[in-house]
Structure formats: C-alpha cells, structure tokens
Amino acid sequence: MGTEAIDLALTAFVALLVIFDPPGTAALFVAITPRDTTAERRQQAIRATLVAFGVLVGFAVGGGWLMAQLGISQPALRIAGGMLLFLLAADMVMVRESGLRATTAREREEAEETENDISVFPLAIPLIAGPGAMTTMVVMQARAGWDPWLGLALFLALAAALLLTLVALLFAGSLARLLGQIGANVISRVLGVVLAALAAQMVLDGIAGSGLLR
C-alpha cells in the first residue's frame, strides 16, 4: 500500500471518526435506551454498526455513480461536501443539535417510548451514518477513483472508525458516567475544530481542482 493510499486512509479515518463522535453518540445511545438491559444494548450496538457499514459502503459506491450521472464534477462535490461538513463542525463547536447527525427531539421521544429495536433508526441512521458521513464517503471514493488499493484503504479506514465507535457504544454507560455532559461537550468542541479544518481543506482542494485559481 503506497503513500497515497496511506494518506487517503488517514484522512478518511480522522474525518469519519470526528463525524461519528463516539463519546457523543454513546451518550445519546444511553439516553434513548433507558429501559434496555446491557445485553440488549450490546446487540443493538453491533447491529447498528453493521448496518452503518453497509449503508456507507453502498453510498460510497452508488453515490459516486449517481453524481456522475447528474453531471456533478469531483471539484464541485468536494466543495459542496466541505461546506456541508463545515456546518456540522460549527454545530459541534457550539455544542448544539444538528439535523446533519442528530435526531430531532420528537424522534428521541419516540425512540424512548417505543419497545422496538432502535439499532437501525435512529442509531445506525442518522446518528452514525448521517449525511456528513455519507458525503465524506462519496468525496473520498471520488478521490480514490477505481484504484483498488485506494478503495481498500478507504474501506479499512471506515471499518476502523466504526470499530472505535462500536467500542464506545458497548461501554456507553461507563463512558457516559466517566465523561459526564461537560466532558462530552469538551470532546465535541475539539473534534469540531478538527472537522472544520478538514472541511476547509476539502473546499480548497475542490477550488484548486476546478481551475478557478489559475
């Protein structure tokens, strides 16, 4: 695996891990499963992670094809993706709920009231595989192109980020007690700053690729 593949993997891993926000997702997971046992939460966490992986892989493969059919260029996709991620980053820094990744208040209430499995909705979608993660996968897949090593690097990065998220979900109760709301907010703000920088770089790469700076 060459330098370009490693660079893509690291970029994708950091971006996805920041978007997944394992501590924040774990806290929300505890909040919407107040009556579930440890075994039930474990099953839902594993199922949600697998569903999110399938959704994001499918979106990376199919999303790129859809963009091509619509005549959307890679530079345009990078600029749009960077702008979308910047909005998510701003919400993370301000520690406010975002429709890009969080559920609405009504959706959380429904999840708390229902006896149904919440692993697919809202845990897998949109808490893990939300618009921000989907956009990142499409942009990174466009960067990888049809190179098999770059594609492998991207999906390994996705698997690694999801694995860390799964660990956070499996220990969600302990993590929530350890960090508390203040600790979770601090981590969210730090990750938001990192994501803002990644979003800005994505926009700059898109502008450079468009030839507007020539």
pLDDT tens-digit series, residues 44-87:
999 999 999 999 999 999 987 888 788 888 888 889 888 988 98
Is 147's pLDDT higher than 70?
Answer: yes
Domain count, the chain: 1
Backbone angles phi, psi at 60, to 5 degrees: -65, -45
For every residue of 85-119, DSSP letters joined together read HHHHHHHHHTT---TTTSPPHHHHHHHHH--S--I
pTM: 0.83
Query: What average pLDDT does the chain have?
Result: 87
For 172, the domain range is: 3-210
Whether the Cβ atoms of residue 39 and residue 170 lie closer than 8 Å to each other: no
H/E stretch holding 69: helix 38-69
pLDDT tens-digit series, residues 85-136:
898 888 888 877 665 555 566 655 665 555 557 899 889 998 899 888 999 9
